[in-house]
């Protein structure tokens, strides 16, 4: 019985599947299986999986049920104690599974482990994800406001924690659902994390090292996904939703602005930042530095300055820095004149 099961939901993803699977096969942790759930592909994805000829890979085929449906089928077939998710296009760092397994094994109350991520743009560049990541325990408020976990890519969960969010909707006779297959435009992952935080006592914690590269377009929930998430929060925790939904919406728009800026979409970034400030200005005033940085960057992008000659080597670029450095050296005369041994 493998310790971990890694689920790859795939539909017509032949161009992205190989790279993700090769990264999974290169994991340093030795004890895992890969379940590729083919969600009714017509592009030869199955053949590309079989061509890898790896005994670790199990291919499961189903009629199309969407990304959440494929993840659910994968979970139903998974044999591992820890279950990870890797949609096509996401690329795992070789040490990722090992790091998550270590974290989950050392803390029996930890139900979900995720890592920081780099976002791949269309041009191939990697951008740091603006969502904060760290070992601090996540609660529903942080999930809603900061979206630190993101979609399913790169998350590793304990099987017992998944059981805490399992449900069987009316009419379903084959298996349970863990991810809500009625969620619009997505894998239902953010909804699942929110349910885990609101209805169970499992911990959710992150690894600060970026161990995942995932596509930029899934870094922020779409509008429909966001509305569904707010509706879920409103039903499960009305008080929390009424207090945090508007600030969370503003923070989501600010994240969109930042990602667009990093991706070079200047008009899109400006529009998103404007909408963010219109929706919940009080929230953003409390944490205005990112917005000011973005405004500065937007202004620079719109009115680029002519290149200034560089300061001579050895001198600080700015007179203020020069004065500060002189003052520091006066305070620490021995440090300034210490001779190397």
Partner 1 sequence: MLRIVHLVEEDTPDGIARYLDFLRQDPPMAALARHEILPLSGLLPPGPLEAPDMIISHLPVTWAGLPRLMSLRSRHPRVPMVHVEHCYSEGYMVANPGARLRLQTLLRSAYALFDRVVAVSAAQSDWLSRRGLVHPGCLMMIPPCTPLEALPLIRPPAGPVRRLAALGTLDRQKGFDILIRAFRMLPNQGISLRIYGKGHQAQPLAQLAASDPRIRFMGHLRDPFEAYSDCDAVAIPSRWDPYGLVAMEANAAGRPALLNPVDGLRAQLGRGNIAVPELSEEAWSDALRRLFDPEHPPALPDRLAAGPEETRAGWNRLIRCFLDPQGSEGSRGRLSLVSTC
Can you give the binding site for partner 1, defined by CB under 8 A?
108-109, 139, 160, 167-170, 198-201, 235-236
Q: Please, which residue, 119 or 198, has the CB nearer to partner 1?
A: 198
- Report which DSSP code applies to 81: S
Residue 332 CB, nearest distance to partner 1 (Å)? 43
Closest CB to partner 1 among residues 61, 199: 199
What residues contact residue 38 under an 8 Å CB cut-off, 6+ apart? 10, 11, 45, 46, 49, 59, 60, 61, 62, 70
Closest approach, Cβ 167 to partner 1, in A, equals 4
In this structure, are residues 196 and 112 in contact, taking their beta carbons and an 8 Å threshold?
yes
When the beta carbons of 201 and 287 are compared against partner 1, the nearer one is 201
Task: Enter the DSSP assignment of 167.
Answer: B
Report the nearest approach of partner 1 to the CB of residue 177 (Å): 8
Cross-strand bridge partners of residue 120: 126, 215
What 139-143 contacts at long range (C-beta under 8 Å, 24+ apart), as own/partner pairs, is: 139/197, 140/194, 140/197, 140/198, 140/233, 140/237, 140/240, 141/240, 141/244, 143/190, 143/193, 143/194, 143/197, 143/204
Q: Which residue has the tokens 């979206």?
A: 147
Nearest C-alpha neighbor of 103 from the set 185, 251, 4, 172: 4
Query: Minimum Å distance from CB 139 to partner 1?
Result: 7
Nearest alpha carbon to residue 203 among 321, 326, 114: 114
| Structure tokens that stand for 194 in this block | 């929110």
Q: Which is nearer to partner 1, 195 or 258 (CB)?
A: 195
Minimum distance from CB of 222 to partner 1 (Å)? 22
Q: How far is the CB of 174 from partner 1 (least distance, A)?
A: 16
Which residue in 135, 119, 337 sits closest to 220, CA to CA? Answer: 119
Decide whether 152 or 198 has the Cβ nearer to partner 1: 198
Q: Which is nearer to partner 1, 135 or 169 (CB)?
A: 169
Angle between helices 238-262 and 289-302 (to 10 degrees): 30
The residue behind tokens 């070992």 is 135
For the CB of residue 256, give the shortest distance to partner 1 in the complex, in Å: 29
Comparing CB distances to partner 1, the nearer of 35 and 198 is 198
Minimum CB–partner distance for residue 175 and partner 1 (Å): 14
The nearer residue to partner 1, 167 or 322, going by C-beta atoms, is 167
What CA–CA distance (Å, rounded) separates 92 from 47? Answer: 22
């Amino acid at each position: 019985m493998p310790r971990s099961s890694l689920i790859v939901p795939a539909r017509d993803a032949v161009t992205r599947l190989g790279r993700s699977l090769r990264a999974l096969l290169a994991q340093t942790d030795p004890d895992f299986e890969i379940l590729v759930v083919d969600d009714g592909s017509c592009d030869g994805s199955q053949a590309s999986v079989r061509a890898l000829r790896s005994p670790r890979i199990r291919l499961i085929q189903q009629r199309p049920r969407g990304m959440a449906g494929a993840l659910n089928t994968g979970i139903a077939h998974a044999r591992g104690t820890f279950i990870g998710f890797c949609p096509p296009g996401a690329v795992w760092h070789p040490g990722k599974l090992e790091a998550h397994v270590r974290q989950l094994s050392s803390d029996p109350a930890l139900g979900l482990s995720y890592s920081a991520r780099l976002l791949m743009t269309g041009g191939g560049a990697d951008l740091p994800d603006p969502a904060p990541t760290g070992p601090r325990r996540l609660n529903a408020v942080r999930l809603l406001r900061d979206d630190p976990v993101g979609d399913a890519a790169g998350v590793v969960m304990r099987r017992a924690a998944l059981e805490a969010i399992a449900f069987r909707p009316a009419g379903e006779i084959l298996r349970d659902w863990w991810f809500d297959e009625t969620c619009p435009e997505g894998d239902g992952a953010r909804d699942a994390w929110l349910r885990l935080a609101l209805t169970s006592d499992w911990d959710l914690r992150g690894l600060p090292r970026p161990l995942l590269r995932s596509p930029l377009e899934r870094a922020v929930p779409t509008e429909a996904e966001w509305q569904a998430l707010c509706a879920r929060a409103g039903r499960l925790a009305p008080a929390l939703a009424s207090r945090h939904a508007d600030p969370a919406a503003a923070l989501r728009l600010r994240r969109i602005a930042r990602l667009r800026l990093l991706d070079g979409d200047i008009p899109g970034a400006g529009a998103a930042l404007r909408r963010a400030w219109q929706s919940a200005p009080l929230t953003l005033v409390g944490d205005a530095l990112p917005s000011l940085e973005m405004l500065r960057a937007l202004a620079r992008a719109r009115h680029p300055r002519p290149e200034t000659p560089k300061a001579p080597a050895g001198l600080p670029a700015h007179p203020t820095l020069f004065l500060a450095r002189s003052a520091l050296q006066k305070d620490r005369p021995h440090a300034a004149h210490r001779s190397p041994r």
